[in-house]
Amino acid sequence: MFLELKGKNEFKVNYFEMLKYRLAFASLELEGISDDLTNVKQSMKIFNQLQAINYIFDTHKENHFSHYEFTSLLCEVAKRVTGEEVSDFRTTEASVVGSNVERTKPQMIRNNLWFLIDDYNYQLDNCKSEDELYEIEALFHIRLLHIHPFEDGNGRTARVLLAYNMCKNSLAPCIISNEHKKMYCDLIENGDAKNLAKLFKELSENELNTMISLYKELDEKGLIKENNFTEEQKVKYMKLNKQF
């Protein structure tokens, strides 16, 4: 389980901390953050994103959310992402620049979120393969963004939830960089869950390879104190080992 990175041996603790910064920066980069990290406003955005990531990984452990837990979680993550007080969902009509997708009307947001989490839980209960997991996450991500529950911070909130969901379902998280921005946005706009799932799978596998390759390099330098990879990760490690 990728979530086991947190709080295990020294390598996993350090890797998880680095992963959180990369997730935070990549998510903000998609929304036009500059690379001037001496700018206080930009630094605060990264701080807020890290607060949201820390919150969800530190406080939620279950695979399934009840209706109340899910809506409460969204508000808590959005509050940390934006640095603003968020106690409920938007009350005005929403439009996204450059998008033709009609976002959910304010009075239907809570109902649509309840349907969303019901369907998500049902799909997880009946999932039969790793590829299905990616499709489930892709569809959930698209539907959440199309509901657009908040005035601000919807994309950043959805990507925090995506990272957590993938980790708790034993998948490496997706770090979606500017390189994939157009494809990512187009797939969401078109509601193309199949191809978004393929993108998520590619980026997830890249992240797992990054983790294992870094482990390999540190291990060769004698900097790994103990090896407590899962059996699945050991197999992946041995395969990569043969490539070098």
| pLDDT for residue 1 | 44
Residue-level pLDDT at 243: 47
Highest mean pLDDT (candidates 40-44, 164-168, 197-201, 207-211): 197-201
How far apart are the two ends of the chain, measured CA to CA in Å? 26
Q: Determine the pLDDT at residue 234.
A: 64
Average pLDDT, the chain: 86
Give residue-wise pLDDT tens across range 107-138. Answer: 999 999 999 999 999 999 999 999 999 999 99
Contact between residue 120 and residue 140 where contact means Cβ atoms under 8 Å apart = yes
User: Span 159-174, mean pLDDT?
Assistant: 92
The residue that leads in pLDDT, 125 or 45, is 125
Checking if the pLDDT of 93 tops 90, the result is yes
Looking at 34-48, 100-114, 188-202, which range is the least confident one? 34-48
Does residue 142 contact residue 116 with C-beta atoms inside 8 Å? no
Q: Between 86 and 60, name the one with better pLDDT.
A: 86
The vertex-34 CA angle with 142 and 29, nearest 5°, equals 20
CATH superfamily of 2-89+104-243: Fido-like domain (1.10.3290.10)
Give me the phi and psi of 191, to 5 degrees please. Answer: 65, 35
Could you tell me which of 5, 2, 24 has the C-alpha nearest to residue 16? 5
Q: What angle do CA 71, 190, 114 make, to 5 degrees?
A: 20
* Per-residue pLDDT reduced to its tens digit, 71-87: 999 999 999 999 988 88
pTM: 0.86
Mean pLDDT of 149-156: 94
For 43-52, 135-144, 226-235, which range has the lowest pLDDT when averaged over its residues?
226-235
Type of residue at 29: E
Q: What's the pLDDT score for residue 240?
A: 55
Q: Report residue 237's pLDDT band, with 50, 70 and 90 as the boundaries.
A: low
Domain boundaries, the chain: 2-89+104-243
228-to-40, 174, 218 alpha-carbon distances in Å: 39, 23, 14
- H-state helical runs in 30-66: 40-59
